[in-house]
Every structure is written in structure tokens, then in C-alpha cells.
Amino acid sequence: MGILEKIAEIEREISRTQKNKATEYHLGLLKAKLAKYRAQLLEPSKSSGAKGEGFDVMKSGDARVALIGFPSVGKSTFLSLMTSTESEAASYEFTTLTCIPGVITYKGANIQLLDLPGIIEGAAQGKGRGRQVIAVARTADVVIMMLDATKGDVQRELLEKELESVGIRLNRPKPNIYFKPKKGGGLSYNSTVPLTQCSEKLVQLILHEYKIFNAEVLFREDSTPDEFIDVIVGNRVYMPCLYVYNKVDQISIEEVDRLAHRPNSVVISCGMKLNLDYLLEQLWEDLALICIYTKKRGGKLFLLLNFYSDLRCFPPKTVVLNLFGLLIHRTLASQFKYALVWGTSTKYSPQRVGLTHIMEHEDVIQIVKK
């Protein structure tokens, strides 16, 4: 029996098993086996075949956004509207056959937008180049799930299922579970909150499925068995997702209102260029980038960008040390004495800070050498 058949058999058994107190251990074991088989399915084949055309593109800019969706939902049209890149768009499916990059310039940030080929049901098992598309999506900072508003919620449910099966968790925080395998000593099981879904026996059974008999486990929240399995596997990706419903000009106003009020959802029309500005604002919020300016020594501090030598965007909680090699030349790291910072991250302006100071949005920094 192949891996695909084993996965299908376990999924059927999970669906027909009644969920209650008596079957929770059995379901936990089935979920652990399912996660293990799916991980084996994603491993690259050892047999050396003919090398094809490269699919991924070099990461550039301040952030990367991946466009995921079924064929003919408007991904290529959206890329052409938002960037200066022309992506071929047509009325037939699978117009885009490779990854096409573009750049969105917004609030001083360069955001790389990737137009990926349309994926179909069963992409996680490799259908329609689905593995390559999903592998590129794992490297993104934010996923834009482009959906056809005329198809209802069918496309969204199918895409979420495909991404979930390959370890991409959308709009969910990382489980607050401490897990560390040990060489001996058995299982150390503790929790700081009352647990209703993961008992010590269930945790032990799941660990035994992965041939782990000595480990330290600490639950800091009431987590599910699926979340505990994600922590054991360790290769899950947690990222924000923006659900974008295109072609809203073809549905009723009541349906538009229903879709617009769903969490993390935006309604647009690429054909009529509707609501694209609001989509950019929501994308900027999900990326959570911070802009940092550098100030030349002796220059006056005004609210004009002309007095600053450079502007770059960084992830949140960026420290001064991370700026070297990006915003500041790396050779200055050895000559660093202290930095002067103006902005909301300081108690007063300017404040003298060290390499571990956490920068905030629109801070200004001046480096003082030894």
C-alpha cells in the first residue's frame, strides 16, 4: 500500500470515528500517523530525474507576498494592476505556468509580489505542480488567497485544506508549548493551565508514535492534539493570510456585504479597479513592517525626508545590531560606540542606545563611531 492510500485510509477512519472521551486516544494516534505520512509525502524523491525549469525566484525587497488561488480567479490581472510587471491574462485556465514576480512600492517599502500558477484540488499530493507552488508559498511573509466571489466559500475551504495538509497554518499563532527531547529520564509532563484536550497518556502515545520515549513537555495553554503534533514535527509555518474576493461586480450587494464582514477578508474587482487601495492598507497592516531612517551627523532634524540619508523597512522588534549590513554598512559594526535615536522607542529624544535597543516605526538613528 502506497503513502497516498495510507493517508486516504486514515482520513476515512478519522471521519467515521465518533469523537468522545473513549475515542480521544485512538483519534490522537490516527492524527499522529497522518502527520507522519504527509511529511514523508513532501520529502523530495531520491531518484534522480531530468532537471526541469527553476520555479522559485530570488527573494528581494522588504517583504514577500504570495498570490495563491485556483485558475482564472484574477491573479495575473491583479499583479498587472498593482505592479509594473505585465503578467499574461486570458479567459482560459492555466494561463500562468511559472512564478512571475512583481514589486509593489508602498509607504517607502518594496514588497515583492509573486504570481503563482493556479493550483487544483490535490495539489498537496503533487497534482498540477502543486508541490512547487506550495513550496514557494512557505517562503512568503503573507499569503494573499485570491478567490472568485461568484463561487461562494467552496474555493476557500479547499485551499485551506490543501495548505493545512502541508504544514502551512493561516492566521493562527504558534502553540505555546515547550518541547525538548532528552537522552534519558522518561517523560516529564507539566502544564501551567488546566488542560481539557491533551492528557498525559495521550501525549505519551503520540510521542511513542514518533519513537520518542524521553522528553520534556510543558503546556502553557490549553492546546489540541493537532497543535502538539505540530510542535513535535517542528516544520510548520505560521503566517497571516488575506482572503481577497475578486469579481464582486458580478454578485448581489447582500453577498458583497456578507463577504466583506468575514475576518481577514477584502472584496475587490480587478476588472473595475474597485477597493484596491483598501487592499493595500490591509496588506501593510498584515506585514507589520517598520520604517527606520538614518540621520547624518551634524544634520538638522526636521520632519522632511531630505535630511535623512536613507530609509528602509524592517520586521517588528528589529534591534540596532540587525541594521548593520542592511541600512548601515557592515564595516561600521566593529567601530560602533553608541547610537542616538529619535522616536517612540525612546524615553526622550535623542537617547543614547546600544546594539540591543529595539527600534519602532519611523524612528531616526545616528551612529557614533569610536
Predicted local distance difference test score (pLDDT) of residue 50: 43
How much is the mean pLDDT over the chain? 80
* Local confidence band at 21 (pLDDT 50, 70, 90 cut-offs): low
How far is residue 4's CA from residue 279's CA, in Å, rounded to a whole number?
38
pLDDT in tens, 240-289: 999 999 989 888 999 999 999 999 999 999 888 888 999 999 999 888 88
- Name the DSSP letter for residue 118: P
Which CB contacts under 8 angstroms, 24+ apart, belong to 157-164? 158/70, 158/121, 159/68, 159/69, 159/70, 159/119, 162/119, 162/121, 162/122, 162/123, 162/124, 162/130, 162/134, 163/68, 163/134, 163/137
Is the pLDDT confidence value at 302 over 90? no
pLDDT at position 306, please? Answer: 38
Split at pLDDT 50, 70, 90, the class of 192 is: very high
Q: How far apart are the C-alpha atoms of 350 and 363, rounded to whole Å?
A: 11
Q: According to the model, what pLDDT value does residue 92 have?
A: 45
Residues 223-239: pLDDT tens digits?
888 899 889 988 888 99
pLDDT of residue 217: 92
